[in-house]
Amino acid sequence: MKVICPGSFDPVTLGHLDIIERAARSFDEVVVGVGRNTSKNGLFSLEDRLSMLTQACAALPNVTVDPIDGLLAEYCREHGVGAIVKGLRFASDFDYELQMAQMNKQLTGVETILLPTAAQWSFVSSTLVREIALMHGDVSTFVPDFVVTALEVQAARRSPERESGSRR
């Protein structure tokens, strides 16, 4: 079966990659579906997120990366995707995911499979990684090395005086 791991991936974390790798071991084909960012707090462009995911998944032969335009349920119908696979970290994830799973099922009949996140990544989110990185904290245990570099570039762009030293 072909499945999709959808998300914003802004940026991709080791928690996301754990779910993608487990899906790739369990299913024939995995599409990593990258949503367009509607939130004002988005950091990376769609092109950057697609490129980082392509690099992160390069060693997984049955995984491809694709943008999702419009409804996820419609994408699944149009591309022959049998199920949506998502990670569950804690109870509030479940409430949100259950509602989306039921809505997606109602829309086109697509099933959702929820995988418990590995305990070591249960507290990791892209939102926290962005916040820590933009305040020059260390996120190297939560994201791949090349994502650390991309985050450092973004952090330097947003506070250039830190890079060149204080001018006062």
Task: Please report, as ranges, the residues that interact with ligand PNS according to CB under 6 A.
Answer: 6-8, 35, 68, 71-73, 100, 103-104
Residue 125 labeled ligand binder: yes
The arrangement of strands across the sheet holding 63-68 comes to 63-68, 29-35, 2-7, 83-88, 111-116
106 φ, ψ to 5°?
-65, -40
**Smallest separation (angstroms) from ligand PNS to the CB of 104:** 5
**CA-closest candidate to residue 125, choices 12, 42, 1:** 12
Is the CB of residue 33 less than 8 Å from the CB of residue 53?
no
Closer to ligand PNS by CB, 72 or 151: give it: 72
Active site residue 40: yes
Q: Where are the beta strands (DSSP E) in 8-106?
A: 29-35, 63-68, 83-88
Q: Which is nearer to ligand PNS, 6 or 11 (CB)?
A: 6
Asked whether residue 127 is marked as a ligand-binding residue, the answer is: yes
Tell me the closest approach of the beta carbon of residue 68 to ligand PNS, in angstroms.
Answer: 6
- Verify whether residue 126 is a known catalytic residue: yes
16 is known as an active-site residue: yes
Residue 44 marked in a binding site: no
Cα dist. 18→60, 68, 87, 155 in Å?
Answer: 12, 21, 9, 26
The nearest distance, CB 154 to ligand PNS, in angstroms, is: 18
- Residue 65: strand pairing partners: 32
89 is catalytic: yes
Catalytic residues: 16, 40, 89, 126
Point out the annotated binding site for substrate.
8, 40, 72, 86
Point out the annotated binding site.
8-9, 16, 40, 72, 86-89, 97, 121-127
